[in-house]
């Protein structure tokens, strides 16, 4: 019985293949999924997804959504997904720093909400390429 | 030019078809989560119904011209809606997507504008996401109490239909409503297809109903159903925005196809009548010269 993983974004299917193990980041912690997992439905926060195929781990940054597993079929629906190999490390770092600055300058509830979302996303992308987020920019 | 636009419409249509698996799965889970929530009072930011003091009107136009009346119809409808809102004393702010709309609103500084966003030739999830973020923060921060989306439905190759849908607050069941309160079930998805009929292009729309089977009773919810709904609804918001962008692009391309077609036909007619007119002049001149020569020769004989 093999585990099959489907990851979908609103405009395309990001992943559809058999895998050995999946690790998800939910807002109540990380969940590991192996073949024959019990049926489960969970919300996913903006974070990373780790997949093991042929003993190799690969990572993806997910921008929020949910995951459902039933009968060895895992379906993940997200707003957007980026495979670690598709992310440019320098660009990811720059985006993160810009997001931090924006949050520091944000005024008013609306800007703070927006800035927080952007920061979370930038952080997830950095984590996906296994780079630790740099320390806050000194003023 | 017409065939280039037709190829692009087909690509736009493929984009919609590619989005089907996502919407289908989302609708299935949405229905099932809602059935678990029946008796509870739902208090999720995105579904909050407040007294409407201010509305955000999202206007989707194209980036380029040469598409006939496409952009004008949208902007006319926007003006109409703003007039209605002024009459009932509701404030509004505009979020404009697309260079044509942006230019229109920039030239009219008396219209309150929240943001001007340039469109892209092929709608992406990143674009939909950034628009969704803007609308999400406008709504949740209580800057506005309602978000309406004005876009062009792809009805047929010769007909453009600008419609206004209520985007936020979302209904927990995922219904899509227009401003007159007519609601469509989330499971009914209307798709457009570009086909050929009798050698000419035509558009067919069909309603596809998603099956919503009950989940096997043993499905565990990792979090409270409400939290899961909280994660599902932003996905739904995103896909709604993406769909509106895709339909608008398809309508714009169809309008451009028509405009190009008409332009080619007109040019051909103009060429023909110009040719005829030129030949007539030429023949008249030649006849004139012959007459002169004949007249001249008659005299000398």
Residue A103 CA from chain centroid, whole number: 21
Chain A closest-CA separation from residue B170 CA (Å): 17
B22 interaction partners in chain A (CB closer than 8 Å): 8-11, 77
Separation CA B270–CA A20 (nearest Å): 68
3-state secondary structure string across B51-78: CCCEEEEEEECCCCCCCCCHHHHHHHHH
Under an 8 A CB cutoff, do B242 and A11 touch? yes
Count CB atoms within 10 A of the CB of residue B122.
14
Tell me which of B34, B37, B54, B125 to substitute to probe the interface with A (most A C-beta atoms closer than 10 Å). Answer: B125
Of B86, B47, B59, B88, nearest in space to B148 by CA: B59
**Which CATH class for the B2-183+224-262 domain?**
alpha beta
Of A10, A28, A111, Cβ closest to residue B238? A10
**CB-side neighbour CA atoms (13 Å) of B229:** 25
B228 interaction partners in chain A (CB closer than 8 Å): 41-43, 66
Under an 8 A CB cutoff, do A79 and B29 touch? no
A3-84 has which fold? Answer: ATP Synthase; domain 1 (2.60.15)
Give the chain A residue nearest B124 (alpha carbons). A11
A75 interaction partners in chain B (CB closer than 8 Å): 25
Task: State pLDDT tens for residues A115-134.
Answer: 888 898 898 888 888 754 44
Question: Which sign does the torsion angle of CA B258, B120, A62, A16 carry?
Answer: positive
Task: State pLDDT tens for residues A43-95.
Answer: 998 999 999 999 889 999 998 899 999 889 999 999 888 898 888 889 988 98
Question: Which sign does the torsion angle of CA B283, B288, B294, B300 carry?
Answer: negative
Residues of chain B with pLDDT under 50: none
pTM value is 0.81
Predicted-complex ipTM score: 0.79
Separation CA B94–CA B73 (nearest Å): 17
Q: Which residues of B are catalytic?
A: 67
Residue B141 makes CB contacts below 8 A (sequence gap 6+) with A108, A109, A110, A113
């Amino acid at each position: 019985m093999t585990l099959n993983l489907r990851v979908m974004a609103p405009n395309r299917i990001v992943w559809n293949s058999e895998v050995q193990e999946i690790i998800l980041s939910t807002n109540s912690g990380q969940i590991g999924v192996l073949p024959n997992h019990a049926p489960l439905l969970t919300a996913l926060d903006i974070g990373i997804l780790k997949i093991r195929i042929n003993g190799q781990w690969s990572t993806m940054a997910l921008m929020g959504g949910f995951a459902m597993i039933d009968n060895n079929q895992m379906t993940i629906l997200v707003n957007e997904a980026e495979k670690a190999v598709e992310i440019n490390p320098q660009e990811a770092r720059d985006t993160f720093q810009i997001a931090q600055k924006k949050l520091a300058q944000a005024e008013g509830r609306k800007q703070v909400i927006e800035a927080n979302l952007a920061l979370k996303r930038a952080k997830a992308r950095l984590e996906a390429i296994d780079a630790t987020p740099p320390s806050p920019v000194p003023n | 030019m017409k065939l280039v636009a037709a190829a692009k419409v087909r690509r736009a249509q493929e984009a919609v078809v590619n989005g089907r698996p996502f919407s289908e799965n989302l609708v299935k889970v949405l229905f099932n989560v809602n059935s678990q929530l029946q008796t509870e009072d739902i208090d999720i930011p995105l579904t909050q119904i407040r007294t409407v003091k201010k509305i955000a009107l999202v206007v989707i136009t194209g980036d380029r011209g040469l598409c006939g009346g496409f952009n004008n119809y949208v902007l006319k409808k926007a003006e109409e809606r703003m007039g209605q809102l002024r009459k009932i004393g509701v404030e509004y702010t505009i979020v404009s997507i697309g260079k044509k709309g942006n230019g229109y609103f920039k030239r009219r500084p008396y219209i309150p504008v929240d943001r001007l966003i340039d469109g892209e030739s092929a709608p992406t999830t990143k674009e939909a996401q950034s628009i969704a973020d803007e609308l999400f923060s406008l709504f949740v921060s209580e800057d506005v109490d309602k978000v309406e989306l004005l876009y062009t439905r792809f009805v047929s190759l010769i007909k453009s239909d600008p419609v206004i849908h209520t985007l936020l607050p979302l209904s927990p069941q995922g219904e899509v409503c227009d401003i007159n309160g007519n609601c469509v079930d989330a499971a009914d998805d209307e798709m457009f297809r570009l086909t050929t009929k009798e050698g000419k292009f035509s558009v067919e729309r069909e309603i596809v109903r998603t099956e919503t089977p009950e989940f096997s009773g043993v499905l565990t919810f990792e979090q409270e159903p409400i939290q899961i709904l909280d994660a599902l609804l932003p996905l739904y918001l995103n896909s709604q925005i993406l769909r509106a962008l895709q339909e608008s692009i398809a309508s714009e391309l169809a309008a451009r196809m028509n405009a190009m077609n008409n332009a080619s036909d007109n040019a051909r007619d103009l060429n023909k009548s110009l040719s005829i007119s030129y030949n007539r002049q030429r023949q008249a001149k030649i006849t004139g010269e012959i007459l002169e020569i004949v007249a001249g020769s008659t005299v000398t004989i």
